[in-house]
Structures are given as structure tokens and as C-alpha cells.
Amino acid sequence: MSVKDLPVDYRRSPSPGQSFPSPTGIVSKKHLCHLTETPIRKNKRKRSEPKKRSDFSIKRFCPESPGSACSESGRSEDTDINVDESPRVPSVCSNNVLLPEHTDTRGDNHSDSNSNSSPPAHPGLVMFPGHFPPGFMIPNFHYKHPGLPFPIPQPLPPGQLQRVDLLQSATSGYRGGGGTISTTNSNNNVKQTSMNNSSNKDTKSVSVENESDDFNESSRGGRKNRKNYKNMTRERRIEANARERTRVHTISAAFESLRRAVPSYSYNQKLSKLAILRIASSYIMALGRLAEIDNLDNSDERSSFANCVDLCTRTIQTEGRARRRH
DNA sequence: TAGGCCATCTGGTCCT
DNA sequence: AGGACCAGATGGCCTA
């Protein structure tokens, strides 16, 4: 079995009209839709009719809700208290697989990557020789797909990480077998967190209860009879909000998984969702080029792969700089 | 303090 | 009919 036999064409390269985001380019929503293949909706919401937010939001009634605050008084005390207790990014996948603790290291790693000193290396990550800059890291490659000449990134068991030298694999390893793969057990920073979907559910139930209580209390203030849900009861609106939160959390968890699957300067480097998409696209292109190589003696293909790696490297560098600017 | 990023709420639209 | 999906609005947090 060869790469050509795979149902997915790993050898596919961008079509002439298709372009990957420039490392320095500005990605518009249109471009993002292109990247994510968002289907074009037939009926878009009218943009000329800005709507006023409802006064019945959970934020208004439930200060415990993540990110919520008393709208009249700005940040609430509860919000301040909860900042250090709950991570901003969900630390669990939608399938309830616990992830290593995600620490928001905004600024720390960026300053590392900004300087010439090497960033702290994750034990499961290795640096690329040759094309990649110092401190450049690739995600963990776990399994070698049967019949594939190169490894497919797979979710790792908790605490287990692996190393692979992609460049060496490209030149001598995975086509004939013999790529350098070593296993590293990582017990550090693999911490179980309580951030999961159940917590969201809890938030929902608490929100409902609190809103109900606050609503009853607010009824004294005259908000009792206010209706703003079109064709929806308040309970259904709250349920829909909870579903929407869960859906967005799932998307965020997927982004977090993708972040861990793409190269970065450090394991805990904070990347925006846009940066994750940019890096992932260039990384996929590099992998596609790698899969495309049949004869590494061909200098053209070798240089094509090198160009893709270089693009991936530049994207990471650019995104790192862009993030630091914020 | 401005701007970027993100979570949340909300309502419109699509899909099952 | 109800849930999923989407995008606008809003506010909080963080960084330069």
C-alpha cells in the first residue's frame, strides 16, 4: 500500500486559484471561510439591522457565569475571584479526554521567542535541524499509520509523548523505515482539571436557578413582564444559550487540540484561533509536500518541501510576532 | 488607553 | 418543532 492508495489524497497541493495565507497577510473572514470551507449560506442575516441586546441575558442575572459581570457595575467580585480558578481555555476535549493543564502564558513565551534564548522545551518535542529555527518544535507523532510512509499525529495517552525527527524521516526514515522515534514519558504538567462539559452543564443549571431567583427578585423592580424572546419561552432561550455555549466550547476544545498538533515554539505558547489556522494550513501543506516526495534525490522536490517547511516556519514566526504585538 | 482576542447572549436561518 | 449553525453585539481581559 502506498500513499497513492489512500482514500485521501495526501499528495494534493493547493490548486492554482487556491492560496494559503501569507505569513504577513491579513486573513479576512472570506479567507477564513475559505480555509474552513464554511458553506455559503443562502440566507444571511440582515446586517443593516443592529439589534439591541436583551436585558434578560444570563450575564445580567448570573454573576457566576463564566465571563459574566454585573452589567451596571462592570466587573463583579465573583468575576475577580474566579479568574484564577477557571482556565480561559477549556482543558478537556469534547470526548472528555483530559488534556495537560493549559496555562495561559501570554507574554512569557513570547518574550522567550522574541529573544535569542531558546524557549523552554517541552519534553516530548524536538527541534528541527536545518530548515527550522532554533527552538522550533513539532507536535508529538505517536503512531505510524499502517501503510503510510510517515507518521500520523494521534492523540497521545495521558502523560506519554514521543519524539520524531521529521527532516530525518523525510530523508531516510519513513520511506524505508528507520526514522528516529523515541518515547518519552512526561509526568509533569499533566494535570486533571475539572473543566469539562459537566461543568458547563452545572453552569447552565446554576444559571437557570440564579436567573430564576434573580428574575423573581427583579420582578420587584418591574422587569417581570418584560418579553424579548421572539417565539421563545425564557426557559427555551436559556437552554439554547447553554447549547450554544457547549457548542462553542467544543469548537474551542478542537482548536486547542489543533494547537497541540501544530508546530510551535513552546508547548504552552498561546496562539489565537486565527494563528492556529494559519500555522495548521502551512503545516499541512508541508506534510503534503512530504508525502508527495517519492525520490528525495530529486532536488526540485526536495527544495519544494524545503519551501513548505520554510513557509511553515515563517508563519510561526509571524504569528508569534503578531501575538506579541497585542 | 486603544486594540486584539475571546466568551457569551441573542435571533435568524437551515436542517432533521 | 426543535436543535444546529451562524453572525452581530457586547463586555471583560490582556498587552503594547
DSSP A20-68: PPPTTS---HHHHHHHHTPPPPSSPPPTT-PPPPPTT-HHHH-TTSTT-
Q: Does the CB of A50 sit below 7 A from strand C?
A: yes
Instruction: Give the pLDDT score at A226.
Output: 30
Pull the grid cell for residue A104.
Answer: 495561559
Mean pLDDT of chain A: 45
Q: Does the CB of A253 sit below 7 A from strand B?
A: no
Looking across all nucleic acid strands, the nucleotide with the smallest C1' to CA distance from residue A248 is B7
Region A201-215: mean pLDDT is 35
A:229-248 Cβ neighbours of strand B under 7 Å: 229-230, 232, 237-238, 240-242, 244-245, 248
Q: Of A293, A258, A296, which Cα lies nearest the Cα of A279?
A: A258
Q: How many Cα atoms sit within 13 Å of A61 on the Cβ side?
A: 25
The percentage of chain A sitting over the pLDDT mark of 70, rounded to a whole number, equals 23
Q: Does the CB of A57 sit below 7 A from strand B?
A: yes
| Model confidence pLDDT, tens digit, residues A133-178 | 444 455 543 333 333 333 333 333 333 322 222 222 222 222 222 2
Q: Does the CB of A166 sit below 7 A from strand B?
A: no
Instruction: Give the pLDDT score at A295.
Output: 56
Nucleotides on strand B lying under 7 Å from protein C-beta = 3-14
Region A295-322: mean pLDDT is 71
| Model confidence pLDDT, tens digit, residues A101-143 | 333 333 333 333 333 333 333 333 333 333 444 444 555 433 3
A:5-44 Cβ neighbours of strand C under 7 Å: 33, 38-39, 41, 44
- pLDDT exceeds cutoff 70 at A256: yes
Angle between helices A273-292 and A299-325 (to 10 degrees): 170
Q: Does the CB of A107 sit below 7 A from strand C?
A: yes
